Amino acid sequence: MSETHELGVDFAACDGHGLCAELLPERIGLDEWGYPVVRDAVVPGPLLAHARRAVAACPVLALRLRPAPDRTPTRQSGQPGQPGQSGRSASGQAAVHGLPPSG
């Protein structure tokens, strides 16, 4: 597995408690309404422990961390129904690219 991970926020679940920004200020700030702004979703190995702590601290489990896909150059290449993209921790926002919208 790759050393790099990716952060994602489920904004429908997030209540703006702000613990993630306290625990992972290297990656997460807060907007004027108190909701997380992920400045850079990529979490390198050295930050991983802090990121995991932030994920675990979220009272509503809205912060997600998943292994970053290895094929980094094209984020648009995800095919709908592509297997292997929906692991247990993969329900962050990163997987929406290239999937069928309505209509």
Partner 1 sequence: MNPEATTALAAPEMPVPHGVRLLGGWYATGRPAGLSDHLDRHGPAPTGRAADALADDVERAGLTGRGGGGFPTGRKLRTVAGRRGPAVVVANGMESEPASRKDETLLALAPHLVLDGAVLAADATGAATVHLCLPRTRADQAESLRRAVDERRRAGLDPAEVRVHTLPHHFVSSEETSLVSWLNGGGARPAPTPPRPFEKGVGKRPTFVANVETLAHVALIARHGPEWFRELGSESAPGTTLVTLSGAVRNPGVYEVPMGGSARQALAAAGGPTRRLGAVLAGGFFGSWLPVPLDPVAPSRGAGVLVALPEDACGLSETAGVLAYLGAQSAGQCGPCTFGVPSVAEDFAELAWGRPGPDLMERLDRRLGLLPGRGACRHPDGAARLAASALRAFADDVDRHLRYGPCAHAGDAPVLPVPAGRAVAAEEGWR
Interacting residue ranges for partner 1, rule: CB under 8 A: 9-16, 31-35, 37, 79-81, 86, 90-91, 93, 95-96, 99-103
Q: Of 80, 84, 76, 85, whose CA–CA distance to 101 is shortest?
A: 80
Q: Which is nearer to partner 1, 15 or 22 (CB)?
A: 15
Q: Which is nearer to partner 1, 9 or 54 (CB)?
A: 9
Work out how close the CB of 5 gets to partner 1 at its nearest, in angstroms, rounded to a whole number: 18
Q: Which is nearer to partner 1, 42 or 49 (CB)?
A: 42
Q: Of 40, 86, 39, 46, whose CA–CA distance to 66 is shortest?
A: 86
How many Cα atoms are found within 13 Å in the side-chain-facing hemisphere of 75?
7
